[in-house]
Amino acid sequence: ELESTVSITVVGASGDLAKKKIFPALFALFYEDCIPQHFTIFGYARTRLTDEEMRNMISKTLACRIDKRANCSDKMEQFLQRCFYHSGEYGLEENFSELDRKLKEQEVGRLANRLFYLSIPPNIFVDVVRCASRSASSPTGWTRVIVEKPFGRDSQSSAELTQSLKQYLTEDQIFRIDHYLGKELVENLSVLRFSNLVFEPLWSRQFIRNVQLIFSEDFGTEGRGGYFDNYGIIRDIMQNHLLQILALFAMETPVSLAAEDIRNEKVKVLRSMRVLQLDDVVVGQYKGHTKGGRSYPAYVDDPTVPKGSLTPTFAAAALFIDNARWDGVPFLMKAGKALHTGRAEIRVQFRHVPGNLYKRNFGSDLDKATNELVIRVQPDEAIYLKINNKVPGLNMRLDRSNLNLLYAARYPIEIPDAYERLLMDAIEGERRLFIRSDELDAAWAIFTPVLKELEEKRIAPELYPYGSRGPVGAYYLAAKHNVRWGDLS
């Protein structure tokens, strides 16, 4: 029986994502012995580089998990020796045939599996897939392609992209990545829910008042304005990252942990969601601001952003799942760039205790006395539960306290980057954390009408100062649904 080998070709090797995330993740997997022993990595891009130049380029970004670990530099050297480069056009089959020849030289005598990572702009996805599948797919083993978003701009363009890819690849070969699904606390969501008796029975409209999915960054689109302006925050963060978290959070119990079982449940919950309405959306855009003698640019100051752009860099939305479990529970999303803090978290606000004996101890604001479960995805990973507690002493004074699982304290190890898990899964053929095409359709169906309406009506975003908490409209939207943002109270 032939031994197998895996060749990983990073298409768009000189781009930002490849340098910042993909090569370092591949190295980490190698360092941890989590990729097959025999592997080859190829960088593919238009820039002319020698193997040595490519090794130089990526070696700067590689790091050992814990810096001073033994034999890190040896490992790095071994890793770099497995890295090669091929320069070519993205739409030229003959360039991919040349790559194929080079791959074969590395694969001699082995069962060759091939993984292509498309780290390129969406307008060349299909060209690359056509060339790679025709001229560089594996003659002996599997061929898989990892695709990064954007998967289209709306339902129609996404369906078109899916159709075009299907001319060359089967659904099984396509790994649509959403890197939020590779984050440790997102992966943990289902463990938390399904293996703790104290949570799952409460996971419904009966006990949960609202759920909040919050994403913020404390920097703007610096340098990425050209890409971003064509998409905006709803497509960049909400329709994928936050919605994926929502689906995992709200889905019914899957039959098993098998990829298809989980994805079936995710599709079901997404299809039960109400189409988002314009009056349940608030959009914002950051404006320039001076603070402490430093001035921060407006979104439209970015030279790659067209003057007068109405693209939202902030959005808040109220979503609903029309099924038996979640009927009437608002799922509020908030996502923004250039805000006062950088964070991603899920907040679950529970209902009031019926007939609460301690009502009078809470003053007039009973809402503040309900339990809240916070799952902080980043930066400092944590799960905490706000509970009411008696302040020790002779008086009956109540206090809000946290049962707090802070990862840094409980698990003193470095948490792997999301890309490490996802790359490892793709190599192993584990599809659980990748987006199936019907999930994608369901996700677009929720957001497409409102995205169209925002653009057609040229709705102006509410301006908010760089580094602030975002537009006040987000408070009103929450208040309309009887919700108070947990991150602001």
| Local structure of residue 183 (DSSP, 8 states) | S
Give the contacts of 163 (CB within 8 A, at least 6 positions apart): none
236 binds ligand BG6 (CB under 6 A): yes
Report whether 284 contacts 464 (CB < 8 A).
yes
Comparing CB distances to ligand BG6, the nearer of 114 and 179 is 179
Task: Tell the smallest beta-carbon distance from residue 179 to ligand BG6 (Å).
Answer: 6
Report whether 14 contacts 45 (CB < 8 A).
yes
Comparing CB distances to ligand BG6, the nearer of 95 and 313 is 313
Fill in the per-residue mask, 28 to 67: x = in contact with ligand BG6 (CB under 6 A), - = not in contact.
Answer: ----------------------------------------
Comparing CB distances to ligand BG6, the nearer of 27 and 151 is 151
Fill in the per-residue mask, 167 to 186: x = in contact with ligand BG6 (CB under 6 A), - = not in contact.
Answer: ------------x-------
Active-site residue flag, 340:
no
100 binds ligand BG6 (CB under 6 A): no
Task: Tell the smallest beta-carbon distance from residue 217 to ligand BG6 (Å).
Answer: 6
Kindly name the residue from 38, 241, 289, 340 that is annotated as catalytic: 241
Comparing CB distances to ligand BG6, the nearer of 118 and 131 is 118
Report whether 119 contacts 13 (CB < 8 A).
yes
265 binds ligand BG6 (CB under 6 A): no
Distance CA 107, CA 4 (A): 9
Give the contacts of 41 (CB within 8 A, at least 6 positions apart): 7, 8, 9, 10, 23, 26, 82, 83, 84
* DSSP secondary structure letters along 281-336: EEEEEEE-EEETTEEE--GGGSTTSPTT----SEEEEEE-B-STTTTT--EEEEEE
Task: Tell the smallest beta-carbon distance from residue 355 to ligand BG6 (Å).
Answer: 42
Task: Tell the smallest beta-carbon distance from residue 302 to ligand BG6 (Å).
Answer: 13
Q: Is the peptide bond before 36 cis (omega within 30 degrees of 0)?
A: no
Distance CA 457, CA 324 (A): 35
17 CB neighbour count, 10 Å cutoff = 16
Task: Tell the smallest beta-carbon distance from residue 236 to ligand BG6 (Å).
Answer: 5
Comparing CB distances to ligand BG6, the nearer of 113 and 313 is 313
Q: Is the peptide bond before 416 cis (omega within 30 degrees of 0)?
A: no
Comparing CB distances to ligand BG6, the nearer of 361 and 378 is 378
What are the residues binding ligand BG6 (CB under 6 A)? 179, 217, 236, 344
Residues that are catalytic = 241
